[in-house]
Structure 1
Amino acid sequence: MVRADAGTENVDIKYIQMALRSFHNGDVAGCRSFTVGKSSANQRIEMLWSFLMLHFTVFWRNVFKDMIDAGQLDNTDRTHMECVRFCFLPMIQRHLDTFRITWNSHRIRNQRSIDGTGNYGIPDVMYHQPLICEATDWSYERNSTQYWSIR
């Protein structure tokens, strides 16, 4: 089940989710696998975007702005842009991977789990072991033929 606000950035997510869940049965299959709600209830994702902007996007935006200001980069030149991609994408990907690992292993809630392990509220634990967090496991095995047909 995916819940999002009605923003245009979520339209593709909606259709991908519904397509991937179209062959499943149950209360959250197909069209019922995506729901729209107020963005005021999206505090966690808004916190993620804020954190990402502060600790990632601003840094790289400034790197490239400084290169443009110093005359080292012409962002209208296709060759310059291909060189930037070739040189910087591996570093940016490593930076993103570090961010992902850090974010997915941090605690988003202060409560402790019922079993006392302290795993409650850690995104990786919540995703991979939802029963520990008293949540429902909505995962289904992905049909690779179906996946490639909607790509």
Structure 2
Amino acid sequence: MPLIEYPNFQLWSLASLPISFIQTKKRRLELDLADDPTTVISDDDLSDFITDMLTVTPDVGQSLVLGRLRSLGYKVTREGVRAALRLNNSPLSRALRWPGVSTHRRPYSIPGPNSLWHIDGHHKLTRWRFVTHAGTDEYSRLIVYLNCSDNNRASTVLDAFTKAVLKFHLPSRVCLDHGTENVLVAQYMLEKRGSNRGSIITGPSVHNQRVKRLRRDVFSGVIKLYKRLFYYMEDTHILDPINERHLYALHNIFLPRINRGLQTFCDAWNHHQIQTAQHKTPHQLFTSGMLLLRHTRRAAMDFFEEVDETYGIEEDQPGVPQEETVTIPRINFQLSPNDTLHLQQLIDPLQQSQNYGIDLYEQVVAFIEQH
């Protein structure tokens, strides 16, 4: 029973699930979970935590900070986080409210977890040959994968998708756009789930408010920092975007740093409370939904025999042109195997930096010029 091992589920919240309250208490005692397993964090440690989080996700709000703390097992009040953010001299202190941007939420009908996943690509950093791939469970809003790559190939998207399947199981249906980077995922779903039942639903992600919200939050929380940073590096003549050696150095340092930021964001998102879902987190919604499905002895794919192209698309959304496939050229420079090993031993891309990794990038450029 994995749910009782998860500290952020309160016993009273199990009332809506097909689980006996007495049996749950008994199982918690057997597994030595009688006491709250969460850890209280001191004010000083909380301040240090927020400072470190700003390095990788500088523009997230208090809900995602709380979510990240929950994912690490810390017990913190919203008031404590709010006070710590105000004391922090950073852009995060003004992120207690979203500045002038809101997303209107419409009623949304998805029967259960793994009924429908939506996979999407974000192309805000393609000028420097980075692309972000994301997958979400539409019922729970759970991010099933979120990572940055140096290419937009179909094999890369399939690899991220299948890793998510190993962790969260195979969805009944997947919604994706017409880009060729999704063709292997489409083939995989048709092989596993069958054709003529809507296993693959194609359509623009702009028709889905939840996907739009996630895009905005990922950009604001992680990607915007690097977009501004790379433009700054260009303006100060540190980076030439058409210099293959510069791009090699850029990817060597910043691809791991971007992925660290995306993983931090993902953990925070999956454990932040959603007001319109009775303050449950995406992780809780997914887990409780799976338990309910198990009790009904039905899989998510059994709710509908067939669906049309409007499934998973919200009403009253204006039609827009489809995005064309984005091709990311391969960087036309490589170090020798020996030099690559030497560079890995010499410079850790994730080590602490006083200027968001620019100093590390310059060290890699200097190394390349010497070799």
**What TM-score, normalized by structure 1, do the two folds share?**
0.64
Offset at 1:35? 2.5
Amino acid in structure 2 at the alignment position of 1:123: P
Per-residue CA shift, 1:14-56, capped at 9, x if unaligned? 6514424524xxxxx2233122467565111110001112222
Match of 2:290 in 1: 131
The aligned runs of 1:132-147 (5 Å cut-off) are 132=291, 137-138=299-300
Report if the CA contact (8 A) 1:4-1:36 is conserved: yes
Higher helix proportion: 1
TM norm structure 2: 0.29
Report the 3-state secondary structure (helix = DSSP H, G, I; strand = E; otherwise coil) of the residue aligned with 1:4: strand
3-state SS of paired residue (2:210): helix
- What SS is found at the alignment partner of 1:84? helix
Structure 1 residues 63 and 138: alpha-carbon distance in aligned structure 2, compared to 1, 3 A threshold: same
**Paired position in structure 1 for 2:173:** 2
Cα distance change on mapping 1:67 and 1:38 into 2, 3 Å:
closer
Question: Are 1:30 and 2:194 matched, yes or no?
Answer: yes
**Could you tell me which amino acid in structure 2 is paired with residue 124 of structure 1?**
H
Cα distance, 1:71 vs structure 2 = 0.6
Q: Which amino acid aligns with 1:53?
A: F
Larger Rg: 2
1:19 matched to 2:188: yes
Letter in 2 for 1:105: H
Is the 8 Å Cα contact of residues 17 and 34 (structure 1) preserved in structure 2?
yes
Summarize deviations over 1:72-127 as a string: whole Å, max 9, x none.
11111111111111112221111111111111122335333xxxxx64xx322334
Give unpaired runs (5+ residues) of structure 1.
24-28, 113-117, 140-151
Asked if the contact 1:130/1:137 (under 8 Å) is kept, the reply is: no
Are 1:90 and 2:256 matched, yes or no?
yes
- The structure with the greater share of residues assigned to strand is 2
Residue 76 to residue 40, structure 1, CA distance change in 2 (3 Å): closer
Report the Cα distance in structure 2 between the residues aligned to 1:41 and 1:109, rounded to whole angstroms. Answer: 22
Q: Residue 58 of structure 1: which of 181, 205, 224 is its match?
A: 224
> 2: CA distance between counterparts of 1:71 and 1:19?
45
Deviation for aligned residue 1:13: 3.5
Deviation at 1:65, TM superposition (A): 0.5
- Percent identity at matched positions? 22
Query: Aligned runs of 1:37-116 on 2, under 5 Å?
Result: 42-112=208-278
Structure 1 vs Structure 2 CA RMSD: 3.1
Q: Is there any run of 5+ residues in structure 2 with no aligned partner, and where? A: 1-171, 302-371
Counterpart-to-counterpart distance in 2, 1:85 and 1:62 = 16
Which deviates more from structure 2 when the two are superposed, residues 38-47 or residues 91-100?
38-47
Is the 2:174–2:201 Cα contact (8 Å) retained in structure 1? yes
Letter aligned with residue 19 of structure 1: Y
Q: SS state of the match for residue 35, structure 1?
A: strand
User: In structure 2, what is the Cα distance between the partners aligned to 1:80 and 1:51?
Assistant: 29
Amino acid at match of 2:173: V
